[in-house]
């Protein structure tokens, strides 16, 4: 029986297997959706950091006071979800550099199993251009080794 290994993990919009879509104005839109691959899990905790940069179709950064973001975990069938961050004003989620100001997830601890989804959503009064936007969630990846 292998042992469980936990390693730091940056989940970003460039991660293999992530899908992205532009956001629709005035509705919660899935901007990025990541399905955890087989043989792996993600451990989300309240110490995990999240940073988001969003652009609209102008192209310009979305309005800090009009845009909101949230992160959900969905089951494999996408019939059930748990909120792990937000909804929060975009303004509170856009810090990447100053570690004391970087937003943190709002979950005690949540294991995201293989085939479940981590979804970053946005709600803004304009459309969001996913290709000019990006995010980073600093979290923990879990997997089981093959040997002892």
- The more confident residue out of 58 and 44 is 44
The CATH number of residue 126's host domain is 2.60.120.1170
Query: What's the pLDDT score for residue 57?
Result: 87
pTM more than 0.85: yes
Query: What's the pLDDT score for residue 65?
Result: 86
Q: Do 101 and 93 touch, CB atoms closer than 8 A?
A: no
Determine the average pLDDT of the residues in 24-49.
97
- Whole-number mean pLDDT of the chain? 94
DSSP 3-state of 92:
helix
Query: What's the pLDDT score for residue 140?
Result: 98
Q: Do 63 and 124 touch, CB atoms closer than 8 A?
A: yes
E-only strand ranges, the chain? 4-12, 18-20, 29-35, 40-45, 49-53, 68-74, 81-89, 103-104, 109-112, 117-123, 134-144
Asked whether residue 84 carries a pLDDT value surpassing 70, the answer given is yes
Domain count, the chain: 1
Confidence bin at 147 (pLDDT 50/70/90): low
Nearest of 92, 104, 4, 101 to residue 45 by alpha carbon? 104
- Dihedral sign, CA of 16, 90, 85, 30? negative
Q: Do 53 and 32 touch, CB atoms closer than 8 A?
A: no
pLDDT more than 90, % of the chain: 86
Query: What's the pLDDT score for residue 105?
Result: 97
Query: What's the pLDDT score for residue 148?
Result: 62
Query: What's the pLDDT score for residue 75?
Result: 98
Determine the average pLDDT of the residues in 2-24.
95
Query: What's the pLDDT score for residue 146?
Result: 76
Domain limits for position 11: 4-144
Confidence bin at 112 (pLDDT 50/70/90): very high
Determine the average pLDDT of the residues in 92-115.
93
């Amino acid at each position: 029986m292998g042992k469980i290994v936990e390693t730091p993990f940056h989940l970003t919009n460039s991660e293999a297997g992530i899908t992205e879509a532009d956001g629709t104005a005035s509705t919660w839109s899935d901007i990025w959706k990541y399905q955890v691959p087989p043989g792996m899990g993600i451990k989300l905790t309240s110490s995990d950091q999240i940073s988001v940069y969003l652009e609209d179709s102008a192209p310009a950064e979305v309005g800090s006071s009009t845009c909101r973001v949230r992160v959900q975990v969905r089951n494999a069938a996408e019939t059930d979800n748990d909120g792990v961050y937000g909804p929060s004003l975009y303004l509170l989620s856009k810090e990447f550099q100053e570690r004391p100001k970087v937003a943190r997830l709002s979950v005690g601890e949540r294991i995201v199993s293989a085939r479940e989804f981590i979804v970053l959503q946005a709600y803004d009064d304009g459309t969001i251009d996913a290709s000019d936007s990006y995010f980073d969630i600093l979290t923990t990846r879990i997997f089981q080794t093959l040997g002892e």
